[in-house]
Amino acid sequence: MSYQRSLFFSAILCIVAMLSLQARGQDDDPAEPSPATSPDSPQPVVLLTGFGPFGSHSKNPSWIGAKGVNGKVIEGHKVVSVELPVDYRKVWQRVPELIKEHNPAVVIHFGVFMNGPLRFERQARNSIGTLNDVAGYHPEDGRVVEDGPMIYESRLPEAELLDQMPKANFEMIASEDAGRYVCEFTFFTEIYFQEKLGKRSSAGFIHVAPLNRPLSARKLKKAMAKAVEIVLKKRAADKAAEEAAEDAIPTSRPAGSEIEADAATARSRDTNAGPENGNPSSGSNADGSASSGGIMGALRGRRWKGRPGSNRRAPRRGPR
């Protein structure tokens, strides 16, 4: 009897095991990819960067926070976090590569500053201090580029961040001095290459404090995720407002006779216009291409003595 009972229980265990394997196989079957994650329709990207070690920061909190948000999906966008070295020349090379690789809708660079609240950096100056990077280098020219403006303003929604971050228990203040080091250089370089590549990402820079002064690593990750959420919601609201405004524009066209009259007027104006009435583009070379400069060329000249943050360009003193 005991032998038959053993056979009975063995049969029961086999049946249970087979059912379990069958259920597991069903769970492992790949689901149909959603439109947002399929290769033909990838999720839009939010690019976050933090810096690697430098000075007393053997573990840079900006990278600890950004790394903790990597891979998250926020408002339908995938977060991609990248660590940047505290190195002028490598940042100059890496920033445009990341723009081309990810075509991000939003770019937020993070760096470490002093104790205290999060700092929303309002502007990036075309000016560099004299402190060496981790490779022992700093651009001697004192400027980021020669063909850029003296200041780029942040493309992140300042009002919304300064209002909503504190409401989420993440104190944030505005700053107009990003430090004239690799942080501000990265901020300026980002928007400079955005313009060169014809991109309009929401881009800017936020400084964080060392860990636990006041935010722990866990809270810092949450703060960065919250900042991303605020920026994306503002972008969505702006897009909806633009589409509503476009829908409200009347699409009626003038009658045929009015179109013909307008065309005749345009032809007459073109006939009477001479070379002296032309409007040649400025800031271009003889072949029509725009002039450009960069860290590898523009930064090898004399040191600029202008006041940091000024809108005045450094005077030119002949060929360089």
Identify the pLDDT of residue 268: 55
Mean per-residue pLDDT, 44-58: 94
Please report, for the chain, the start and end positions of each structural domain, with discontinuous segments joined by +. 45-241
Tokens of 195: 């313009």
Say whether pLDDT at 35 is over 90: no
Alpha-carbon 231 to chain mean position: 11
pTM: 0.68
Percent of the chain residues past pLDDT 70, beyond the cut = 65
pLDDT average, residue stretch 202-211: 97
Residue from 178, 190, 204 nearest 113 by CA: 178
**Could you tell me how many helices (H) and strands (E) the chain has, helices first?**
8, 9
Which of the four pLDDT bands, split at 50, 70 and 90, describes residue 15? Answer: low
pLDDT of residue 274: 43
Q: Residue 42's pLDDT is what?
A: 82
Given a cut of 90, whether residue 55 has pLDDT beyond it is no
pLDDT one-digit tens code per residue, 70-100: 999 999 999 999 999 999 999 999 999 999 9
Q: What is the pLDDT of residues 229-262, one digit of tens each?
A: 999 999 999 999 988 888 887 665 555 555 555 5
| 121 has catalytic annotation | yes
Residue 164 has pLDDT above 60, yes or no: yes
Q: Is the pLDDT of residue 38 over 90?
A: no
- Residue 36 has which token pair? 């947002």
Catalytic residue among 77, 109, 183, 184: 183
Neighbours of 174 (CB within 10 A): 13
pLDDT reported for residue 224: 98
70: exposed, middle or buried (Cβ count in 10 Å: 0-12, 13-18, 19+): middle
Residue predicted with more confidence, 148 or 82:
82
pLDDT at 258: 55
* 90 contacts: CB under 8 Å, gap ≥ 6: 84
Q: Which distant-in-sequence residues (6+ apart) come within 8 Å of 234 by Cβ? A: 157, 160, 202
Whether residue 281 is predicted with pLDDT greater than 90 in this model: the reply is: no
198/200 Cα distance (integer angstroms): 7
Contact 92, 193 (CB under 8 A): no
HSE-CB at 139 with a 13 A cutoff on CA atoms is: 29
Q: What is the pLDDT of residue 247?
A: 80
- Residue 11: predicted pLDDT: 57
Q: Which of the residue ranges 44-48, 297-301, 303-307 has the most confident prediction, judged by mean pLDDT?
A: 44-48
Higher pLDDT, 37 or 152: 152
User: Catalytic: which of 121, 146, 184, 190?
Assistant: 121
Does the domain at 45-241 match CATH 3.40.630.20? Answer given as yes
Of the residues 77, 109, 138, 207, which is catalytic?
Answer: 207
Report pLDDT for 245. Answer: 86
Mean pLDDT, residues 20-43 taken together: 41
Q: What is the mean pLDDT of the chain?
A: 78
Is the pLDDT score of 135 beyond 70? yes
Residue type, 260: E
For the chain, percent of residues with pLDDT exceeding 90: 58
